[in-house]
Every structure is written in structure tokens, then in C-alpha cells.
Structure 1
Amino acid sequence: MRLITKSQCSKYLLGSFALLPLLISATSHAEEKLQEVLNRGYLIVGTGSTNAPWHFKDKNNNLVGFDIDMAKLVAKGLFDDETKIKFVDQSGDARIPNLVTNKVDLSCQFMTVTPSRAQQVGFTIPYYREGVGLLLMNKSQYADYDALKDAGDDVVVAVLQNVYAEEMVHAALPKAKVDQYESVALMYQALNSGRADAAATDQSSLRWYMVQNPGRYKDSGYAWMPQSYSCAVKKGDQEWLNFVNVVFHEAMTGVDFGAYAQSFEQWFGVELPMPKTGFPVEYK
């Protein structure tokens, strides 16, 4: 056992006390974002403006979409007024830099959660789970995913051109023929003309396309390659992150479920079941 002298002990104590202001400063800095936003009187959110149904301009040039509605929920939670918000139009590669440099308080831009990104930002709880789906014509000879799979190499699937496109389709339909197209418009054109039996695309895009064209298309009923979408805050702002998480959690399971469900149905055409009362289902 090593003994220290009274003099050495005093030096250690003085050194610890000298660090206290730095520790207090770091702690207060990490906890001050919520109060900063409240004091400012409005929320600053980074998002996009060209990707329906997530964030895009409507015919009146208003910014709308599911991401926009999620951001408005946070503004409502802060100020009881969803209009107290300023949107910063940003590119996808600016989502993290704008948080790090304090240009925005929150990024809501269909951001996929990955471990590498989680080292750079603080992710909120997911507000949507994306995946790949198969869009069919409503009058297709194939009733659903099982019928497509049973048809084997008789099935032609249209997909947006990508280095992983064939691998992606074959993960769901191993024997299907894969036709790649340079644009989404050409992909849907192939489906509409009968050159393709199905179109493989993001589940959210599939649902939005069905909303825009009621009665013309149907979902095969199968989705794969899941990925979580979350908003993000600057890393280290734990109090701020906790607040946004409360907003999203209660929107999906509690007091603001009506607003979340209405938005979900508007953009994806899906009516969500009411959360069960009693024991919280998320803890089962």
C-alpha cells in the first residue's frame, strides 16, 4: 500500500478543484440547448425540400411531408405552437455538419441510423422504419409476394439502377429477372406498360405512390432490408435529446398519437392501430 504525504494530498485536492470549473462548464454546455431554444422562442430544424413524402414543396410552395410533421411536433412540445419553427434547407451531406456547427438544433431528414453516424451525432428514437417493398398493378396476375416468389424466373422486377440492385431484388425474389432503369419515372413506366411485373422501391415511396394514384396499384405485402429513420441532435446534448425523445415517444404511443397517426395516414396511406392502454406495450 502506497502512502501519500499531507503535502501531496493537498496538491491532489487543489488539482481536482482546479478542474471543477471545466467540469461544470462542460455539464452546463451539454444541458443548455433546451433552454437556449426556449429563450430564443423558436426551433431551428435542418431538412430537405425535394423528397416526397418526407420533405418537399406543395403547390403553394409550403414545405410539407412526414419529416416536417415530426419537426412540428417538437415545436408544439416546446411552445404549444407548431408554427414556432424555422427550417434550414440543407443537402444530405450537410445533416451532420450543420448540427456540429450549431447551425440547426435538430436534423429531421429521413436519416438512416448507423453505428458510424452514432459516433458523430445523438440519434433520437426511430420515428419510422424503412424497407424495400414490391409495387404491383392492382390488376396484376400476381396477387401478392408469395405469388411472385412461386412464379420464379417468369417474374420481371423493375428497379432503380444501382450497383447493388440485382443483389437487393434477389434477396427477396432469388429467381426473378431484374431490369434496371436510370430514373424512378422510367421504372414506374416499365410497370405501367407491363414490361415489368413489379417495381422494387422504398416502402415509403411505394406507399406514397399508392396514395397519389388510388386504386391503381397494390403492395405485395412483403418488405425487407429494414433500416431505422431518426432525427439527430448535436452529440453531448443529452437533456435536449431526452426532450425530443419524449416528444416522439408520446406521439407514437401517448398523448399526441392522434397527430402522428394523421400524418402517417396522410403520407403513407396507412391507418395505424390505437396504442393499447394498460401495461405499456414497449416494455413487453
Structure 2
Amino acid sequence: MNITGIVSDRWGNFPFAIAPSAAPQAIAAHAADLPEIKQRGYLLVAVKDNLRPLGYRDAQGNLQGLEIELARRLAQDLLGSDNAIRFQAVANRDRLAVVLDNQVDFTIANVTVTESRARLISFSLPYYFNGTAIITKDSSAQNLSDFATRRIAVLKGSSTIPTVRYLIPSAQLIGVNSYTQAYSLLEANATDAFAADASVLSGWVQEYPQYQLLPTLLSAEPLAVVMPKGLQYNALRQQVNAAIARYLSEGWLQQRARYWGLPVNQTRSEN
């Protein structure tokens, strides 16, 4: 599935953007409209700093990942410097709250677009389509059909469960409470595979090279930049969306996603 095609065909002018990772630091500032941001001279961005390969810290403590690169390129386009950013690391539960409370200009932190969230905040156009993927130690497994009657671990209560049940109805699902528990089961050969978010499992493969990520995604879920609602932010939203649209049309976002080991352009429809 072509990401650019999804944006133009499925989302039309739906706003989209980028997500970086961050260094925790106290920021005594507030969200601003575009003229104020330019006067201030930097963006305030809430990010994840522990989610490889979207946003994480390397061995030297430097921020790395697809979302970090995207955030810095936005800063370059909006303010003329890829260093014109101050990052604030946030927990998942606070990703929208820091925007609603006007603590940051954006949140770019692995946030999936949903209708309920869109009632509270504004989304940019999607910059990447995350989804459910399968990881396994079995190098011979390449297709979903290879797991038709095998054991697949899934996080209890996750949206992954109905997706896997629908696409692989005869598989035996094993509920786990955490990624750590799934890893323990896989290492003990108590399950054959683990189904979860592709972005997280891509990082897993990089950390544990004995595993492989199946090239086919089971679903496609748009990730977007979170921005505040309000007419005063229109110019900012328009510039962010125009920049992301250009990154997609040029192929830059797709190329960087591949660089970071994220699945691109492949969905279950290709099998």
C-alpha cells in the first residue's frame, strides 16, 4: 500500500504531521500561533524518548528515530534551523493533555488518529501508517497463512485481538500482560509469534536480531501530529500540512521509514 496514495485517496485534506522523541526537560513556555513561534525562535514539541525506532535515545543519550528526523525537518522549514526545537518527553497518557493545556505547540509521539481524539484537538495529515504486525523467530515463516494453526501471543484487551481473529481465525491466541511477558514466552518456545504494533516490533527486531518481522501488516492506522484547535493556529496547521505533503510526494518520509526499519507499502491485501 502506497502511503502517499492513502493520504490523497483516503484522507483528502485531512491534516497530518510528524512525531519525534524527546529529552525530558522543564519548559516554562506555552503553545503559540505561528507569528509568536517565529518571534520566540523555536518549537515546543512533546515526544516519546523510549520508543525505538520512532523516537528514542541512543547509547550516547542522543535522540534518534523517524519522528525525531521529521520534527527537526519541520523546524528547518518553519524556522530555518533543525535545531530550533525544545523537546519535552511525555508518557502516553499525557500526549494530548500537554496540547490541551497549552504547554507545547505540538505533540509528535506515536499518536493514532481517532474520531474521539479529533473532537478535542486538531490532527495533521498522516505522516506514517502504523498497524498490527507479527514477529517470530521462525525464519521460514513469510506469510500469514504460515500461522494458520500456530500459537500467537497478543496483549490482553488490545485491538490486535479482533484483527488477528478475523485474518487468522484458526490460530491459537495466547494473552499476555506485557511485551516483556511476550518475549519470555517466545524465548521459551511457548508461543510461535507475537502480534502487536509494527512500530514497536520494528524496534524489537533491531534490538533482538534473532527475530524477524513479517513484511505484511494486518492493519493500517494513521499517525499524525497533534495540534491545538482554534482559528489562531490555522496558519501553523497549514504550514505543517504543506510541509508533510511535500515530504510524502518527494518520497522522503517513505525513504526514512525504510531506513529506520519500519514496514512501508505492504499490507495484507498483497497476500
The amino acid of 2:144's aligned partner reads Y
Greater shift after overlay, 97-106 or 237-246? 97-106
Identity %, equivalent residues: 25
CA deviation profile, 1:147-168 (whole Å, cap 9, x unmatched) = 222xx3xx11122333666434
Indicate if the aligned counterparts of 2:199 and 2:262 stay in contact, CA closer than 8 A.
no
Q: How many residue pairs were aligned?
A: 233
CA deviation profile, 1:187-235 (whole Å, cap 9, x unmatched) = 1232233221211111122222223344x33333432242211001111
Indicate if the aligned counterparts of 1:264 and 1:270 stay in contact, CA closer than 8 A.
yes
Query: Whose helix fraction is larger, Structure 1's or Structure 2's?
Result: 1
Match for residue 238 of structure 1?
234
Structure 1 position 52, deviation (Å): 2.1
Indicate if the aligned counterparts of 1:46 and 1:108 stay in contact, CA closer than 8 A.
yes
Question: CA separation in 2, counterparts of 1:270 and 1:220?
Answer: 9
Which residues in structure 2 correspond to 1:110-259 (within 5 Å)? 110-140=110-140, 142-149=141-148, 152=149, 155-162=150-157, 166-214=161-209, 216-236=210-230, 237-254=233-250, 257-258=251-252
Indicate if the aligned counterparts of 2:198 and 2:262 stay in contact, CA closer than 8 A.
no
Question: CA separation in 1, counterparts of 2:94 and 2:75?
Answer: 22
Match of 1:264 among 248, 251, 257: 257
Correspondence 1:47 to 2:47: yes
- Pick the structure with greater CA Rg: 1
TM-score normalised to the size of structure 2? Answer: 0.77
Question: CA separation in 2, counterparts of 1:97 and 1:175?
Answer: 41
Which ranges in structure 1 are unaligned for 5 or more consecutive residues? 1-31, 273-284
Could you list the structure 1 runs, at least 4 aligned residues long, displaced by more than 6 angstroms after superposition: none
TM-score normalised to the size of structure 1? Answer: 0.73
The amino acid of 1:175's aligned partner reads S
Bigger RCO of structures 1 and 2 (CA < 8 A, at least 6 apart): 2
Question: CA separation in 2, counterparts of 1:178 and 1:66?
Answer: 31
Question: CA separation in 2, counterparts of 1:270 and 1:200?
Answer: 14
Indicate if the aligned counterparts of 1:133 and 1:206 stay in contact, CA closer than 8 A.
yes
Indicate if the aligned counterparts of 1:70 and 1:108 stay in contact, CA closer than 8 A.
no
Indicate if the aligned counterparts of 1:44 and 1:87 stay in contact, CA closer than 8 A.
yes
Indicate if the aligned counterparts of 1:75 and 1:84 stay in contact, CA closer than 8 A.
yes
The amino acid of 2:244's aligned partner reads F
